[in-house]
Structures are given as structure tokens and as C-alpha cells.
Structure 1
Amino acid sequence: MSLPDGLPMAVPVAGLPARVRIHEVGPRDGLQNEKAVVPVEVKAEFIRRLADAGLSTVEATSLVRPEWVPQLADAEQLVPLLKDVPAELPVLVPNQRGLERAMALGVRRIAVFGSATETFARRNLNRSVDESLAMFEPVVARARESAMWVRGYLSMCFGDPWEGPVPVRQVVAVAKRLMDLGCDELSLGDTIGVATPGHVRELLARLGEAGVPADRLAVHFHDTYGQALANTLAALEHGITTVDASAGGLGGCPYAKSATGNLATEDLVWMLDGLGIETGVDLGRLTATSVWMAGHLGRPSPSRTVRALSQKET
């Protein structure tokens, strides 16, 4: 039986953060796999609606070569449409050319995307882990010199479809090197969704011992095996206060076929609301936004919360 106001009863749990910042990745990570190109005006409206729902960080797009990710080839057209959006709008940049494009657009927040494993680094960036870090070094340095905020993404932190389980020490070593380049924040990616709570706790503990504290980390879970919320709760218990999620559960990874959808932002907000953790997000507005976007994509949202709340409205 659903609750009258469409929200869970808040029952706080001791030891969890009072507030969590949701790093919304739907417009970039969520849409990048879509075969049919979404019109730039729809993308801009999607981002605007997400901000209006209370999301303070919305990753807008990626400044990669158009042939790599055709869905995001309209970045130069999209960014100028977002000047009045009341949110931080970081963009992904792959290299110095991407950074130059970001700076020309007036972007103030960027992200670079690395890998904890050699195979995925080769498949995604056509470089080894060492070569990719060498490529990022001048990008991060120049961005910081220009007073830009820099996020580092580290993919394959728990498992790799070609290499299997990834040793924690290997992830810690690459994560430390990426942070040492000067990144403000590091997002730990469970790219194929194989993490479990104990694995999450172990990685976070070892990162802390290596000098990478929880307040510099974010988590990015995929829900391939239904573990994303359990893993998120384990991360919150460790002190993580930034969680990546994708509106409606959109997305995956175009270079890892076993990477299914991201953690749905609505499912995350439902859990956080139930724990009494502030997010600033209006769940009703967010759900309506995902229903609207699902209409443009021609299929229902995979988010359980979106389905439950939208069915209640009908």
C-alpha cells in the first residue's frame, strides 16, 4: 500500500551523513548510449527540469570527438542554452583539446575519465593506464591554473568484463595517482555493477589509509545485480557524502557491454528521504522529469520508484 503523500516515512539512522550531494549524470552518462539522437532542445530542457527539481550538480555533456559518442556531438550547441540553469554543470573532457573546447564555452567544472584496469584503458582511451594518466596530467594542471574545479572518474574499480575481479590494491594505486594530479574529487565507478557492500567498505578503508579521505570521494554504482542501493548505504556508513546517479536509471557504458543502467536518482532519493538525509531534491518533480524524458525516448523508465509513483498518479 503506497503512502498518501508519495514519500517514505523518515527514520534517521545514527552515523550517517546529514546531507548528501547527488551528482546527476543522466544528461551525459545516461543518454550517451541512446541510438536515436535526442534533439539538443530536449537535452537542454531535461537539464533545466533536473535543476528545477533541486539537483545542484548536473553533468551536462562530454567534449569528446563526435564519432566516439555521436549522441553528445552537439555539446557546442547545448552549453550556450544552459546559461540560466541554477546548477553546477560540469562536462567530461578526454584530453587537452577537450579542455580547450570547454574553456572556449566558459565551462568552469570539468571531469576526466580514467580506468583502474589496463584492458579497459586500452579499449576506452586507446592508451595504457600510465599513458592515460600522462595525458590527464597537463589537462588537470591547466584547468587548476585557470581556477577550474576538476573531478576524476575511475572506472572498473570493482570488476572488469575482460580481467575479472580487480584487486583493491590496484584500484588504490591508480586512484592515488589520479588524485595526486590535482583532482578536487574522485568518483569510484562500479562500471559493470559487480560490487557488494563488503567490497565497497574494503576499498574505501584502503583508500583512507592511502591518504584519500572520504570527503574527497564520490561513488558511482550500476545496478546490474541489484546491489547499487546496498552499496550506496555501505558508502554512506563510511562517510561518503557525494553519490552519482542518473534520472530514471538511464545509462550504461558504450565500451563495456555488460554495464547496464546507473543507479536511478529517484531510487536513491527515496532511500535518502527515508533515512532523513537531506538532498534538496523534490522527488515528485524529479519523477515527472523522468516520465517526460521516457516519453521522448519511447520506453518506460527502469526506475522502480518512477514506476511506482507514476502508476499511483494514473
Structure 2
Amino acid sequence: MGELIMSAPVAGLTSKSRIAAEDVAMLRHEVFGDGVVTRGEAEALFALDATAKDKCQEWPPFFIEAVTDYIVHQEKPSGYISQDNADWLIRTISRDGMVDSRTELELLVHVLEQAKSSPAQFCVYALEQVAHAVIDGKGPLMLGGALASGLVAQAEVELLRRILHAHGGDGNIAITRVEAEVLLKIDERTAQGQNDPSWNELFVKAIANFVMCSAGYEAPTRDVALRHDAFLEHADPEIGGFFSRMISGGLAGIMEAYRSPGDIEAEWEAKNRAAEALARRAETIDAGEAGWLIEHIGVDRPLYENERALLTLIKHASPEIHPALRPLLAKVA
């Protein structure tokens, strides 16, 4: 991080093993006193976080607030995370590609939530932290042994939802390919585990959002596309599994959020006769995403339940999404 430049009061804390509430009050005055959080101050806070073994409950909120202020608001335009700041934060909190502590993980997510826009890889890095926990049992989420590897618990689903929703920000509406690939990796590696039912819903909605928007559908906001629908969790005992619950009632609710390519085409034609350009764009992406699905779903193995639900949703939404997908879609009713 380079040479740290600290004020005398802040430098004095580096020799202490504990940060007390009165220390946080002093730091708040030192850091926010002039209304500007500098990179040097942010680096000093990281140094304190690393050296102090005993921290009061006031420390994490202050640490997260101060570093977020620097990352999100100190460069113009405010709210837009630069590539340089994103790279700096990832370098600062990474240990072999993983975040070191829960406080730093919460910082990462909070920065995403406060930003209007951020580099795509920044969100993917946050998603990968959850993947490390559920697939390999590594990272700060596993500290304390509250979570088990090989399955997706409700807490992890909500963290994934927070990350994906946050990256929706200012213009990042549709789920991106790299985000979808992290989710597919999680689903494949945990398909045999007792995942929380909310994972099934989030996975299907997120991947469907990526595929359908690539095929020309108008994307709803991520908040709408990924919202939690309780009826998909609480099924009649006679109906087993998320797949059956979705078919019995959830499909129409998911589809309500999307406007078909035909609707978009008519609107564009009425406005400026630009439907032809839109159709060319949809056709080009359509072929690419069809190939992507074929490469990632049901390769040399039976379909997982979540994959069956996803393909059923796509088939219901647009049976002619692309001819290359027909053999894959034929595997579901």
C-alpha cells in the first residue's frame, strides 16, 4: 500500500492491540473532520484493522463507512467507482483471491450497495467470495463454523441477492454473463446438497434474466427480477420440489416482469422506426447465449432440478429463442 502517512493520534493506535469506543470517536473526528477521506487515511484504517486484535463493536461500522466514503464519493462523479479504486480495494482486502474477514466482506458488499455504478469484475469478485464458502468451505463466511460447505444456506442466498441487486445500480440492469457463470458454478457444485429453497428461486430468476434479456426481452430492474416470492417456497405436501412449485403457480409471476421482444419492437417502431436494428442485436446475442446454455447445462449428465426449472421457464417464454436450443428444451415438458 506504500508508505502510510498518519496523524499523531492515529499513529499512536498502531502500537495498541485494542481499539476502544473512545478511539473510534477520535478516529471519526480525525478522518471526517475536513469532510474528505483520502487514500492515505483509508490505508491507515486498514493497517489498524489488521494490527488490532481486539476491536469494539463501534469499529466495524466506522471502518466500513469511512472506506466506503473514500471509494464511492471522493472521486468525481460521486457514486461511480473507478477501475483504479476497485482494483485498489480488491488488492487491499485479498489474500490469495479471498477476503480475509467478515468486516472486509461486508465492506465490499456495502461499497457495491452505495455505488451508482461499479466495474463488472468488482461484483463478480464479491460473488466469488460466497462461492469460495459454499464450494470449498473457505473464506470469512466459514469462520465460527456456522455454515457448511457443499450447500447454499439462506444467509448465503441473501448475501448473493444483495450483491446482485447492488450491482444493478445505474444502468447495470440485466444479469451479466460472468455473474451467471459464478451462479452456475455454485449450483453445479451444490446440486446434491440440501440447499435452502430460496437458492432455487434466486438461481432460476437470475439465469433466466441473463438469457431472456440477451434474447431481446426488456429487462425489469434487478430488484423486480430477483425479488423473493414466498409462494415458491411453501408448497403443498403433495407437490414435491421447486420445479413442481414453479410449474404449478410461479411461472406466470416470474414472466410478468418481462416485456417480449415483440412489445419492444412495436414501441421502437412507433417512436423512431428502429426495430430493425433492435432485431439484429437480439438475433446476434440470441445465438451466442443459446450456445452458452448448451455448454453449461446438462453436459454428459441428467438435468438438475434447477436446470429443469430454468429451461421450462425459457421454453414457456420463447419456444423459438434459437433453433440450437431445441434439443435441450426437449428434455423438459
Question: TM-score scaled to structure 2, two decimals?
Answer: 0.26
Higher strand proportion (structure 1 or 2): 1
Comparing both chains, which one has the higher relative contact order based on Cα–Cα distances under 8 Å and sequence gaps of 6 or more? 1
Q: TM-score normalized by structure 1? A: 0.28
* Structure with max Cα Rg: 2
